[in-house]
């Protein structure tokens, strides 16, 4: 055997790649990627059957492989059933309701089998399932009677409770250990917040003091407050909000970095008290912007550096503008650096210069992502007046991830040049522009001398194009480090109806890429001949 395969760190990386395809950095990075990002990502476990069987085989190859392979194999569980069914088969059976129950007393030998696997579990639960997976409470209590730590999974880091039978609520305590960093109470059962459950979460600061991320299904602000009380390491919170709630206690969470608010219907036409210190990131998810038309946000003071607004229903550009004005001096402050507005459904009404007006006062903006909104009414002059207000801009995406019905873009190569000259720090660019009639400012010097060497990839969305060579000459002059173009679109675009158009545009932009790749070589050859 190669000596490198005797190093546990290398084996963990290899086995992690087998189990978590596409993951870089092993288990630790995988957990951070899946459970500590927005929105939290829950792995799809049904597709892992082959990987699990491979790891089970690897654990039997040799002693060097065994522990590392088992650590990866047991790292995440959808529920606790696999742990209980790995116990001796004469211990348990399924009753008429298919629930696991004991058929003899649990012994110390049984506990030693359970203890062999339980400490390996790092992630438990799923938003769709009961974490106990149909295990009778008396079976759980019988196993727990042998534990000196009163914990079922002593090394658990992430817990997502999608459901829990009422008679098993006391058993939840056995899952709240000192290593828990992520907690998602996702159950929407009417009787989930029993007295036992409320009492349990009020002691989180004692059971799991190192919690960093807490996500709660919409519940009362009182329950939320006692749940979060005393959690000194809390960094990220995800909450549901209906209005008429006093969440000003969040101001006392000194280290809070990210806050995710889901505003629920029906909207309360009353003021909610909401105050925090300056956040790194604020995400507001809402059915539609109607929630901001009442008094709900009048009591808000939530300064943030990065804001994401996620409306789920179709909105008009006027409603976006009105919402941004309402959030000014409540959420939008001078510290604002990044703003993202997602459109989860296709919108036919385009943004105008007036839609951007509330944001043009924030000269420190570095990132603006409006990639899923229509920009067909924005022309070169409008774009110029907008971007001149954002001299620090490093990332700009406008309309490049959605196809705009039959509307052609009014922005031309001239508008692109204005953008590049106004924002010299620009590094990421997504813009739909009319490339069918590229008109360089001068024949000798396209772009009038404007040059950006930071941008290597240009997301052109549905930008129309006819003459790839002329486009390549013009773009290579203003973006000399450009190497790649992306034609994007989301699930709400119209590419499927215009498949031939997409293929033609894709081919023409690929041709532009080829020209850009050889133009420097042609110039170098010409200069050497001179």
* Domain spans, the chain: 1-73, 76-219
Cα–Cα nearest to 281, from 367, 350, 347: 367
Q: What is the pTM of this model?
A: 0.81
Where b means 16+ CB within 10 Å and e means fewer, 298-323 reads: ebbbbbbbbbbbbbeeebebebbbbb
Burial of residue 211, with CB atoms counted within 10 A of its CB: 0-12 exposed, 13-18 middle, 19 or more buried: buried
Tell me whether strands 92-94 and 100-102 are parallel, antiparallel or unpaired. Answer: antiparallel
Nearest to 391 by CA among 416, 437, 423: 423
CA distances from 523 to 191, 457, 516 (A): 73, 22, 11
Backbone phi and psi for residue 474, each to the nearest 5 degrees, phi listed first: -70, -45
φ/ψ of residue 384, rounded to 5: -60, -45
- CA–CA separation, 46 and 48 (whole Å): 5
Q: What pLDDT is attached to residue 34? A: 47
Strands (E), 242-398: 258-263, 274-275, 281-286, 300-301, 306-311, 338-341, 367-370, 395-398
Distances (CA, A) of 387 to 222, 320, 339, 355, 370: 44, 19, 14, 13, 13
Give the per-residue pLDDT at 527. 57
pLDDT score of 39 = 36
- Please tell me what DSSP assigns to residue 312: -
Q: How many Å apart are CA 520 and CA 384, to the nearest integer? A: 29
Phi-psi region of 481 (alpha: psi -120 to 50; beta: other; left: phi over 0): alpha
Distance of CA 184 to the CA centre of its chain: 15
Q: Rounded to the nearest 10 degrees, how much is the dihedral formed by the CA atoms of 385, 388, 392, 396?
A: 40
- Strands 338-341 and 300-301 turn out to be unpaired
Half-sphere exposure for 177 (CA within 13 Å, toward CB): 20
Would you give per-residue pLDDT tens digits along the chain (530 residues)? 667 777 778 878 888 777 776 443 344 444 444 444 433 444 444 456 777 788 888 888 887 888 888 888 888 888 999 999 999 999 999 988 889 999 999 999 999 999 999 999 999 988 888 899 889 999 999 999 998 888 999 999 999 988 888 888 999 999 999 999 999 988 777 678 888 888 888 889 999 999 999 988 766 677 788 888 889 899 999 988 766 677 878 888 888 999 998 887 766 666 677 888 899 999 998 888 877 776 677 888 999 999 999 888 766 888 899 999 989 988 999 999 999 998 765 555 789 999 999 999 999 999 999 998 889 999 999 999 999 999 999 999 999 988 776 678 999 999 999 999 999 999 999 999 999 987 654 445 666 789 999 999 999 988 999 999 999 989 999 999 998 888 865 444 444 445 556 788 888 998 998 888 887 666 665 555 54
**Buried b / exposed e along 497-526 (16+ C-beta atoms within 10 A):** eeeeebeebeebbebbbebbeebeeeeeee
pLDDT of residue 492: 41
Dihedral of the alpha carbons of 101, 105, 108, 109, in degrees to the nearest 10 = -70
Which pLDDT belongs to residue 9?
80
> Contact at 8 Å (CB) between 165 and 171?
no
The confidence score (pLDDT) of residue 230 equals 86
pLDDT value of residue 46? 47
Structure tokens at 26: 């092993």
pLDDT given at position 248: 79
Separation of alpha carbons 59 and 117, rounded Å = 13
């Amino acid at each position: 055997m190669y000596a490198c395969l005797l190093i546990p760190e290398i084996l963990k990386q290899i086995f992690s790649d087998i189990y978590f395809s596409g993951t870089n950095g092993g288990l630790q990075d995988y957990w951070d990627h899946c459970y500590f990002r927005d929105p939290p990502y829950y792995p799809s476990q049904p597709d892992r059957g082959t990987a699990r069987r491979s790891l089970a085989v690897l654990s039997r190859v040799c002693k060097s492989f065994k522990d590392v392979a088992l650590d990866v194999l047991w790292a995440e569980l959808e529920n606790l059933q696999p742990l209980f069914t790995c116990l001796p088969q004469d211990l348990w059976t399924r009753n008429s309701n298919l629930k696991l129950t004991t058929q003899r007393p649990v012994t110390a030998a049984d506990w030693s089998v359970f203890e062999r696997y339980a400490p390996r579990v790092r992630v438990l639960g799923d938003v769709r399932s009961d974490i106990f997976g149909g295990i009778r409470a008396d079976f759980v209590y019988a196993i727990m009677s042998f534990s000196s730590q009163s914990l079922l999974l002593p090394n658990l880091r992430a817990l997502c409770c999608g459901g829990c039978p009422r008679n098993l609520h006391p058993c939840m305590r056995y899952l709240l250990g000192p290593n828990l960093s992520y907690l998602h109470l996702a159950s929407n059962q009417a009787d989930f917040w029993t007295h036992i459950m409320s009492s349990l979460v009020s002691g989180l600061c004692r059971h799991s003091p190192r919690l960093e991320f807490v996500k709660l299904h919409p519940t009362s602000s009182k329950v939320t407050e006692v749940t979060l009380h005393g959690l000194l390491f809390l960094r990220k919170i995800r909450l549901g909000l209906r209005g008429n709630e006093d969440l000003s206690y969040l101001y006392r969470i000194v280290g809070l970095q990210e806050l995710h608010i889901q505003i629920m219907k029906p909207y309360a036409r009353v003021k909610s008290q909401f105050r925090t210190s300056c956040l790194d990131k604020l995400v507001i998810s809402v059915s539609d912007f109607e929630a901001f038309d009442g008094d709900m946000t009048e009591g808000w003071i939530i300064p943030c550096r990065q804001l994401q607004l996620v409306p789920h229903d179709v909105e008009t550009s006027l409603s976006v503008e009105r919402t941004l004005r309402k959030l000014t001096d409540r959420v939008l402050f001078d510290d604002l650096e990044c703003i993202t507005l997602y459109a989860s459904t296709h919108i036919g009404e385009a943004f105008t210069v007036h839609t951007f007006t509330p944001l043009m006062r924030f000269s420190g903006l570095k990132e603006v992502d409006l990639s899923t909104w229509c920009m067909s009414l924005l022309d070169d002059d409008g774009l110029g007046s907008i971007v001149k207000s954002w001299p620090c801009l490093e990332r700009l995406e406008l309309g490049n991830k959605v196809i705009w019905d039959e509307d052609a873009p009014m922005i031309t190569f001239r508008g692109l040049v204005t953008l590049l000259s106004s924002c010299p720090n620009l590094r990421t660019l997504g813009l739909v522009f009319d490339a069918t009639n590229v008109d360089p400012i001068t024949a000798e010097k396209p772009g009038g001398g404007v040059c950006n060497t930071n941008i290597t990839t240009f997301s052109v969305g549905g930008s129309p194009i006819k003459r790839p060579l002329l486009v390549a000459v013009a773009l290579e002059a203003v973006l000399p480090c450009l190497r790649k173009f992306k034609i994007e679109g989301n699930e709400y675009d119209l590419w499927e109806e215009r498949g031939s158009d997409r293929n033609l545009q894709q081919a023409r932009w690929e041709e532009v890429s080829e020209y850009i790749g050889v133009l420097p070589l042609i110039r170098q050859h010409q200069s050497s001949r001179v």
